[in-house]
Amino acid sequence: MVTGSGKENWMEGKSQLFRKRLERREADQLRRKQGRRAIKGSEVTLDYEDQNGLWQGGLVSQDLGFDNRIIEVDCHIYPPKTHSVTHKHNEAIIVVLRGKGYSYIDEEKIEWGPGDTMYIPAGAWHQHWVLSEEPAMVIAIKPLPLQEFLGEMNIIYKGDEPTFNHDYRPGTFLDELKKVGTELI
């Protein structure tokens, strides 16, 4: 219950339970205030992930000093003329910045290109195919911090193999981002 002054009544309690609860809340608020609020594009590092043959870089994650509790945001760059392994995990939102291809989401084929957004339902088998001569650059938004907290952090692979393009090397995140929209002109 909140008093007329806006203060929560339980905070007035003298019991050890309420005091400990208040200490945890205050420590949490301090941690949130100290958490990172932004990242410069020049700070984003693209790393190769060999299980899927793609390059990825964190944009908002606890590893980068953010105090995000629900969602995480990454950039994925799939090399030209490749496809991912078929996999499933919790829900995700994929925003396509560049490249063209299609994805199978629970056996439904969805074609995509720059500006398109896909919703991957929780537990849906999916696979991404890049058809273009240029890489596909996407933003992936996932509830990883929440899943980790709930103990549901998992990704399951179907057992097929992705195609790799070991010759492809992206530039920096900013170099790749500068190319967004060029195929639309």
Convert the pLDDT of each residue in 5-64 to its tens digit. 667 776 777 788 878 888 888 887 888 888 889 999 999 999 999 888 999 999 999 999
Report DSSP letters for 130-173, one per residue.
E-SSS-EEEEEEE-HHHHHHHT----EE-S---B--TT-----H
68: in domain: yes
Q: Is the pLDDT of residue 182 over 90?
A: no
* Domain containing residue 153: CATH number: 2.60.120.10
Residue 84's closest CA among 105, 60, 57? Answer: 105
128: in domain: yes
pLDDT at residue 6, rounded to an integer: 65
123: in domain: yes
How many domains does the chain fold into?
Answer: 1
The span from the first CA to the last CA of the chain, in angstroms, equals 57
Q: Is the pLDDT of residue 81 over 90?
A: yes
Expressed as residue numbers, the domain containing 100 is 41-184
30: in domain: no
- Asked if 160 and 85 touch (Cβ cutoff 8 Å), the reply is yes
pLDDT at residue 3, rounded to an integer: 54
The pLDDT of 97-107, averaged and rounded, is: 97
> Which is more confidently placed, 129 or 148?
129
127: in domain: yes
2: in domain: no
pLDDT at residue 156, rounded to an integer: 80
21: in domain: no
